[in-house]
Amino acid sequence: MASDDQALLAGKDANPADRLLDLLPGGADAMPLTQELGAALIAYTPPNFETICCRITEGLEQGQRALFYDISCPQFPDEGTTVVNDRVHTAATRLVQLMAPAQGGFPGLAIRLELQKDGRWRHNMRLLPHAA
pLDDT, one tens digit per residue, over 42-69 is 999 999 999 999 999 999 999 999 999 9
Domain with residue 101: its CATH number is 3.30.500
Instruction: With respect to residue 116, please indicate whether it lies within any of the assigned structural domains.
Output: yes
pLDDT for res 28: 77
pLDDT class of 96 with cuts at 50, 70, 90: very high
- Contacts with 114 (C-beta within 8 Å, 6 or more apart), sequence order: 50, 51, 52, 121, 122, 124
d(CA 117, CA 114): 10
Instruction: With respect to residue 58, please indicate whether it lies within any of the assigned structural domains.
Output: yes
Could you tell me the residue range of the domain that residue 33 belongs to? 29-127
pLDDT class of 132 with cuts at 50, 70, 90: very low
pTM of this prediction?
A: 0.79
Of the candidates 36, 8, 6, 1, the residue with the CA atom closest to the CA atom of residue 22: 1
Instruction: With respect to residue 18, please indicate whether it lies within any of the assigned structural domains.
Output: no
Instruction: With respect to residue 132, please indicate whether it lies within any of the assigned structural domains.
Output: no
Instruction: With respect to residue 113, please indicate whether it lies within any of the assigned structural domains.
Output: yes
Instruction: With respect to residue 99, please indicate whether it lies within any of the assigned structural domains.
Output: yes
Mean pLDDT of 71-93: 97
Count of structural domains, the chain: 1
Question: Are the beta carbons of 55 and 70 closer than 8 angstroms?
Answer: yes
Instruction: With respect to residue 97, please indicate whether it lies within any of the assigned structural domains.
Output: yes
For residue 76, give Cα distances in angstroms to 29, 50, 52, 53: 33, 10, 10, 11
Residue 95's Cβ-count burial label (10 Å; 0-12, 13-18, 19+) is buried
pLDDT for res 21: 43
Instruction: With respect to residue 12, please indicate whether it lies within any of the assigned structural domains.
Output: no
